[in-house]
Amino acid sequence: MADRTPAQVYALLVGLALLAGGVLGFFYSASFATGDAIEREAVLGILDVNAWHNIVHITTGAVALVVAGSYSTSRSFALALGAVYMLVAVIGFAVGDGEAIAGLMPVNTEDNVFHLLIAVSGLLAYAATPATPAPTTVVPST
């Protein structure tokens, strides 16, 4: 991973974590119920999930893994995911512990902190990755 940019490392690690968490979440809750009928289970007793939440994590994780190999796309992804997850964290804190975002995705304080960490690390990875790659120097052989 030495030749990877911060944005590429971010995309790879976040992709693996979200994909694994989304799949694991289906072992806890596969309910697509919404609104007042929403069901939630806590993965490992920590993060509230339901099937909608799992689908979002699987999709986001898969996209992250796809873009992890690209310099510019991983940088754009880090910015976009950082911004989106910042919004999700703010909305999650606003709706409160044990509530659901848009009546679809249950969240608790731990979810909100997790989303905030993904957001901040994405924005930092974006900032730490130059807009254009550093030129490579080729030393002629003698």
Would you state the pLDDT for residue 1? Answer: 57
Q: What CA–CA distance (Å, rounded) separates 87 from 12?
A: 22
**pLDDT (tens digit per residue) in 28-79:** 878 888 888 888 888 888 888 899 999 999 999 999 999 999 999 999 999 9
Would you state the pLDDT for residue 31? Answer: 86
Q: Which one has a higher pLDDT value, 8 or 139?
A: 8
Neighbours of 48 (CB within 10 A): 26
81 burial level (CB within 10 Å; 0-12, 13-18, 19+): buried
Q: What CA–CA distance (Å, rounded) separates 21 from 115?
A: 13
Proportion of the chain above pLDDT 70, given as a percent: 98
Sign of the torsion angle spanned by Cα atoms 86, 92, 94, 96:
negative
Domain boundaries, the chain: 6-30+40-128
pLDDT reading at 139 higher than 80:
no
